[in-house]
């Protein structure tokens, strides 16, 4: 539908699953070069989207590679057993995505800004990680068997450091020399009901412009020379996305209402292009457009999903944690 | 415009100034029983709205009484001299609204939830108040001249205490026996550019349904037997408000576009009533509708405006602070 | 030992178990009117101290009543299974101490100051409680069976409210009309190795001067007309306590060293009385004496023990939580 | 006095001024190779200690270089005018210590752990810095004249990153290529009344073992190739330091009390060596010895002094801030 196409540039999503949905639109046609499978495991919907060609990459606005999404709407309700199941599934998916040797050194980078709740996911995950690299170097005997060397950092964002996050990470990788980097970041979604209930893993790293904050330098195999797994959870929808969605739905309703040869249809379609932008500028942009839509209880929701991901990472990276299952190693 | 009328029930604002703007609509006609004056002092727009009749009260959805609004859009940019000017103007307006005797005991209540950033204004203001009641009772000589007995509490919200805030305040007033109560609360506005840049003072107290959280029992002269000044700052716009606004603007654009006798006009107007609601239900409500639109840097903005209000209250309530002007008594 | 007696007035402990140890001293004689039993359950040492006569009350500096202490030194090491065991034992002890009917309304009061880490235990416990009173009043069907009406508040401290905490609680009790009050507070201990590893339950309420902050008005059956259970965890040792202990040990060492008829003995003993105080004044008091000794990782330790107690309270007060055991209802 | 000498190894101070005081002891003799001058400016005592020879470095336990200390005991009382004076003096001292060109790029590193209050000074200072490097690179016109490129990072501590802080800083310096590094850190003092009231500037950088946390790799000209200024504020006294001090004072009192030829003197002196250690082990070490002595209101005190230092750094590094003096650029 051409006005949907027209509005797509206003819509931002960091989720491959949503990019695909938007492209497929109502026609439900597969996109050439994009493979997708979905299965439901327990109450979790696991979708694997693979972008396999340069053309698909361009269309989707997502780098070639594999994107796995875990969706569990029940996470919005405080539900401990479901949280555990999702953490375990996350652990399994991560372990399938990378091959960990016994001595693989992993650096986890929590992207984002501590002091801005919707952007704090990365730093909060880092806070709950079981960091072992220094212990394994200095006094390995205190840990025992079943651990890999894990380091972690939350480097802050450009606006508070004055340095590109990608540069900070490069400097760190040169010193720590990890075999694998895992970058955790808050994402923007298109759909409100995915907030805090969806986790995306991608083997493509972090590219400029993704995540809630701004990045200009990628955190990828190309910039670092090691594999980079991106782990993300949507915590906001851009106000512009909601606005655009609302207007599309309204125009659709208008068109449905009108008879096929009514001039309403033509007007509605002609409107779509220029006027939508004008309306948004009137309503949303006076404040600088730096607006987000988010649940009122975002503080609690972010805390919960951060712990879930930290737990899942701890189990994925440390066999002793995975087999123990008691959370004994948390903190 | 009748569809604007239709949508007004979706729009929520705690600001009398906005309620008036909405009622006046495009016709710019005065509302009977509502008096309003505006002056610009320095860079601050000060508007006084008085609701003087029961009819006006009903129309406005605001209790009879006096509402003073300070608007200073420049507050969004970190601007210390402007912050000071606004704090001083706030002090003057508060002092005009109530008559403080030398020994007036004041209880300040910070409404809202510490753990939810957009609702944390009240508790944060309380944190920075110069509380003196206990010192003046137990060791008055340590303070010297120029202070009034001030007590302050942040009682939490129904969801975390299990008790109506109004009940907690009643219990407290019976013990502390203040002469005046000042209730500070985060508000919902209609307009995004008022967020964190506008302060409302009202001599009407807090009524059920106002503020960012939910209250069922009022905090008013009627429930407490003492004057209650409400101080509020808008920190969120309900997502439904934005959505409703956007659709109104879009339909207006549609109608403008169409020729006067075009059926588009009729369709657009007929749409407005039922379909807008349906569209909003499709886009916004899947998550339970508990959504807000807010600037990304809400944490910092809330911290700044909370300090400004605490400073203004300290100066208004304690002559020694007002005349000193150094902020020496802060904390 | 008389110099030990002399220094006792410098030593402050909120734990009955420590008051008893100090009274018994090296002679290990039972104190008349004080009954005590100890058992070890799993890795937890459970001591029951009963103060049964006015004389014992005066000697111990602890009100007549029953004090139960759970000690689990292993809590200092992040140990999830032990945390769970302690939480369960805490639940059992609390249930033995009060008789809960199906409809007993409970008010939990988190004493202390949010913004001062060692005093934040009470407010943090309140944050993690399952508060139900309002739901059971307004929409009981959403909860189902197995819950009691629980309300909770963290009223702040005198220094930040200007109102005696006891007065705030009185006002609240008059409104909420609970059948039982549970007051949670951070305590001062004498012994460093009890910090964050010991929980005391007492059926005596909170008396002026106990806890980390200052209180002048008790929170007791006498002031409120309902039973009051005090739950506390030591988070600090007063610097004066440590200082006094150190000097006692040093003088003891001196005396042991000297031959029985050496003048050293006499000098050491004569010193004890006045000079110890002088020394402490020289070293400790220049800063106002408002000093504490605390572990460097107090932030994490306080967070952990607060969650443990919140979990134990939730299970003790809500049968549905106790039988479920999944922590599903947390938050 | 030889038992004082004996105990010195238990005493830890990061302040050169205290190291000097301890060395000089009661004899008040100057230490060869250490130059010191003191002046009182307003209510601030400014002491300059210069360590000029390798022998003095060894004796003092402080690297050769210049140490400037600002002491303002009044800072403990919330005193805004004094805070401003100290910030201005700090600015002046820093500017004398380094020669800043118009285009000097400065990297500020906030050492320490966000989540441990006494160790959070560095990260909190970084939070309030005016960071400009990215703006001057990407859109210099938005800033105007009077700014230098400043970058800042709070890299965390070894225990939470798994990486030596020194290594992280090295990696960062290689990327950012600053001309000057300023490292801000919380310190341990010997004297309680210096906590939060004293600021030390040193042109020697940060050496392993200094600061509240542990560092093994220095942050110095030698490791980084650029000048490193260390800025620190004492926030804790090690419990062992207090203990040692107390015992020394007590033994001194004992000796004073005894007649010159009394055996007490001999006993007290002989005790000093071994027994003091034994006593401390009995009283302090059961918890692992990881104890600090700190004021109860450390949270507020740390916040205040962090802002003061951030303000002083902003003025020192940005001429526009210094000449403006309004704090307009804060945040």
Per residue of chain C (331 residues), what is the pLDDT tens digit? 222 333 455 667 999 999 999 888 756 778 999 999 999 998 999 999 999 999 999 999 999 999 999 999 999 887 788 999 999 999 999 999 999 999 999 999 999 988 888 899 999 999 999 999 999 988 888 888 899 999 999 999 888 899 999 999 999 999 999 999 999 999 999 888 899 999 999 999 998 766 665 557 899 999 999 999 999 999 988 877 877 777 777 777 777 766 666 666 666 666 655 666 666 666 666 555 577 888 877 888 999 999 999 999 999 999 998 877 554 444 4
| Choice between D283 and B192, residue whose per-residue pLDDT is larger | B192
| Choice between B230 and A263, residue whose per-residue pLDDT is larger | B230
User: What span, in angstroms and rounded, lies between the C-alpha atoms of B92 and B110?
Assistant: 21
CB nearest to D328's CB, from B81, B326, B329: B81
Query: How many other C-beta atoms lie within 10 A of the C-beta of residue B230?
Result: 28
> Which residue numbers of C have CB closer than 8 Å to A's CBs?
78-81, 300, 304, 326-331
Most confident segment among A22-26, C297-301, D14-18:
D14-18
Residue D22 three-state SS: helix
pLDDT at residue number A328: 45
The conformational region for residue B42 under phi > 0 = left, psi -120 to 50 = alpha, else beta, is left
Residue of chain A whose Cα is closest to the Cα of D136: A162
| Choice between C188 and B326, residue whose per-residue pLDDT is larger | C188
Instruction: Categorize the per-residue pLDDT at A300 as very low, low, confident or very high, splitting at 50, 70 and 90.
Output: confident
DSSP class of residue A129 equals: S
**Tokens, residue B290:** 């508990």
Q: What's the CATH fold of domain B6-241+290-317? A: Rossmann fold (3.40.50)
Lowest mean pLDDT, pick from A119-123, B283-287, C62-66, C82-86: B283-287
Is residue A326 within 8 Å of residue C84, measured between CB atoms?
A: no
| Choice between D268 and B153, residue whose per-residue pLDDT is larger | B153
The rounded Cα D206 to chain-centroid distance in angstroms is: 10
Q: What sign does the dihedral B182-B183-B189-B192 (CA atoms) show?
A: positive
Contacts of D239 (CB under 8 A, 6+ apart): C242, C293, D284, D289, D291, D292, D293
**Tokens, residue A308:** 């879930």
Give the mean pLDDT of D143-169. Answer: 93
In the block, which residue shows the tokens 């002595």? Answer: D293
CB nearest to B174's CB, from C151, C152, C171: C171
CB nearest to D328's CB, from B79, B327, B331: B79
Instruction: Output helix, strand, coil percentages for chain A, rounded to the nearest 5.
Output: 45, 20, 35
CB nearest to D80's CB, from B80, B81, B330: B330
pLDDT at residue number D331: 40
Size of interface B-C (CB pairs under 8 A): 93
DSSP H/E element including D89: helix D80-97
| Choice between D214 and D56, residue whose per-residue pLDDT is larger | D56
User: What span, in angstroms and rounded, lies between the C-alpha atoms of B221 and B183?
Assistant: 12
**Tokens, residue B178:** 């203040």
Contacts of C83 (CB under 8 A, 6+ apart): C75, C304, C308
Task: Identify the CA nearest to D252 among candidates B270, A159, C275, B293.
Answer: C275
Provide the H-helix boundaries in chain A: 2-8, 16-24, 54-60, 80-97, 121-127, 133-138, 158-161, 165-176, 221-224, 239-257, 263-283, 298-317, 319-324
pLDDT digits (tens, 9 = 90+) for A62-87: 999 999 999 999 998 877 889 999 99
The domain ranges of chain B are 6-241+290-317, 242-288
From chain A, the residues in CB contact with C329 under 8 A are 78
pLDDT at residue number D27: 62
User: What span, in angstroms and rounded, lies between the C-alpha atoms of A163 and D288?
Assistant: 39
Q: Taking CB atoms and an 8 Å limit, are B327 and D80 in contact across chains?
A: yes
The rounded Cα C326 to chain-centroid distance in angstroms is: 27
pLDDT at D189 over 80: yes
pLDDT at residue number A90: 97
DSSP H/E element including D134: helix D133-138
**Tokens, residue A110:** 């929590």
From chain D, the residues in CB contact with A167 under 8 A are 175-176
pLDDT at D215 over 70: no
pLDDT at D212 over 90: no
Q: What sign does the dihedral B153-B159-B161-B164 (CA atoms) show?
A: positive
| Choice between B14 and A278, residue whose per-residue pLDDT is larger | B14
Residue C18 three-state SS: helix
pTM value? 0.85
Residue of chain B whose Cα is closest to the Cα of D127: B300
Of chain A, the percentage scoring pLDDT greater than 70 comes to 81
Residue of chain D whose Cα is closest to the Cα of B75: D328
Q: Taking CB atoms and an 8 Å limit, are D243 and C246 in contact across chains?
A: yes
Radius of gyration of the CA atoms of chain B, in A: 21
pLDDT digits (tens, 9 = 90+) for B38-71: 999 989 999 999 999 999 999 999 999 999 999 9
Is residue A269 within 8 Å of residue A47, measured between CB atoms?
A: no
Neighbours of chain D (3+ CB pairs under 8 A): A, B, C
Query: Which residue, among D74, D75, D77, D78, would best test binding to B if mutated, counting the most B CBs under 10 Å from its CB?
Result: D78
User: What span, in angstroms and rounded, lies between the C-alpha atoms of D103 and D105?
Assistant: 6
Contacts of A314 (CB under 8 A, 6+ apart): A128, A129, A130, A321, A329, A330
Lowest mean pLDDT, pick from B235-249, C226-240, D64-78: B235-249
User: What span, in angstroms and rounded, lies between the C-alpha atoms of C243 and C11?
Assistant: 9
User: What span, in angstroms and rounded, lies between the C-alpha atoms of C142 and B219?
Assistant: 28
Q: Taking CB atoms and an 8 Å limit, are D291 and C118 in contact across chains?
A: no
Q: Taking CB atoms and an 8 Å limit, are C330 and A78 in contact across chains?
A: yes
Instruction: Categorize the per-residue pLDDT at D1 as very low, low, confident or very high, splitting at 50, 70 and 90.
Output: very low
In the block, which residue shows the tokens 């360590």? Answer: D51
Contacts of B173 (CB under 8 A, 6+ apart): B107, B181, B224, B225, B226, C171
Lowest mean pLDDT, pick from A83-87, B274-278, C29-33, D96-100: B274-278
Residue of chain C whose Cα is closest to the Cα of B164: C134
How far apart are the CA of C327 and the nearest CA of chain A, in angstroms? 6
pLDDT at residue number A212: 63
Is residue D328 within 8 Å of residue B81, measured between CB atoms?
A: yes
How far apart are the CA of B285 and the nearest CA of chain D, in angstroms? 37
Residue of chain A whose Cα is closest to the Cα of D127: A160
Give the mean pLDDT of D41-65. Answer: 95
Q: Taking CB atoms and an 8 Å limit, are A152 and D162 in contact across chains?
A: yes
How far apart are the CA of A131 and the nearest CA of chain D, in angstroms? 6
Q: Taking CB atoms and an 8 Å limit, are D175 and A168 in contact across chains?
A: yes
DSSP class of residue B35 equals: E
pLDDT at residue number B10: 60
CB nearest to B171's CB, from C156, C164, C174: C174
User: What span, in angstroms and rounded, lies between the C-alpha atoms of C7 and C12?
Assistant: 10
DSSP H/E element including D2: helix D2-7
pLDDT at residue number C277: 67
In the block, which residue shows the tokens 């819950």? Answer: C147
In the block, which residue shows the tokens 């995950």? Answer: A125
Is residue C287 within 8 Å of residue D76, measured between CB atoms?
A: yes
From chain B, the residues in CB contact with C159 under 8 A are 131, 134
| Choice between C23 and A272, residue whose per-residue pLDDT is larger | C23
Task: Identify the CA nearest to A5 among candidates A18, A29, A24.
Answer: A24
pLDDT at B282 over 70: no
Angle among Cα B164, B169, B174 to the nearest 5 degrees reads: 130
**Tokens, residue D148:** 């230098």
pLDDT at residue number B307: 94
From chain C, the residues in CB contact with B167 under 8 A are 175-176
From chain B, the residues in CB contact with A257 under 8 A are 267, 270-271, 275
CB nearest to A327's CB, from C80, C329, C331: C80
Terminal-to-terminal C-alpha distance of chain C: 50
């Amino acid at each position: 539908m051409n006005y949907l196409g027209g509005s797509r540039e206003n819509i931002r999503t960091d989720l491959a699953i949503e990019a695909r949905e938007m492209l497929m639109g109502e026609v439900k046609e597969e996109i050439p070069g994009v493979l997708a499978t979905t299965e439901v495991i327990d109450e979790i919907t696991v979708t694997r989207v693979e972008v396999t060609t340069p053309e698909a990459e361009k269309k989707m606005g997502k780098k070639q590679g594999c994107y796995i999404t875990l969706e569990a709407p029940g996470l919005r309700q405080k539900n401990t057993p479901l949280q555990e199941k999702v953490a375990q599934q996350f652990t399994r998916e991560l372990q399938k995505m990378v091959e960990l040797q016994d001595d693989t050194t992993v650096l986890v980078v929590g992207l984002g800004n501590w002091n801005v709740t919707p952007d704090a996911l990365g730093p909060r995950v880092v806070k709950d990680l079981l960091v072992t690299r220094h212990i394994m170097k200095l006094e390995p005997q205190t840990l025992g068997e079943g651990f890999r060397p894990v380091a972690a950092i939350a480097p802050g964002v450009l606006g508070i450091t004055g340095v590109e996050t990608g540069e900070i990470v490069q400097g760190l990788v040169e010193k720590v020399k990890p075999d694998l980097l895992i970058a955790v970041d808050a994402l923007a979604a298109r759909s409100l009901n995915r907030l805090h209930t969806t986790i995306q893993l991608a083997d493509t790293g972090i590219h400029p412009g993704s995540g809630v904050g701004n990045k200009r330098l990628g955190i990828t195999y190309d910039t670092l020379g090691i594999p980079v797994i991106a782990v993300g959870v949507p915590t906001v929808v851009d106000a512009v996305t909601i606005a655009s969605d609302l207007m599309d739905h309204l125009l659709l309703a208008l068109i449905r209402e009108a008879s096929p040869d009514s001039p309403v249809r033509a007007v509605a379609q002609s409107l779509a292009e220029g006027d939508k932008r004008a309306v948004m500028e009137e309503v949303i942009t006076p404040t600088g457009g730096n607006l987000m839509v988010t649940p009122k209880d975002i503080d609690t929701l972010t805390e919960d999903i951060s712990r879930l991901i930290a737990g899942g990472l701890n189990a994925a990276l440390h066999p002793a944690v995975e087999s123990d299952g008691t959370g004994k190693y948390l903190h």
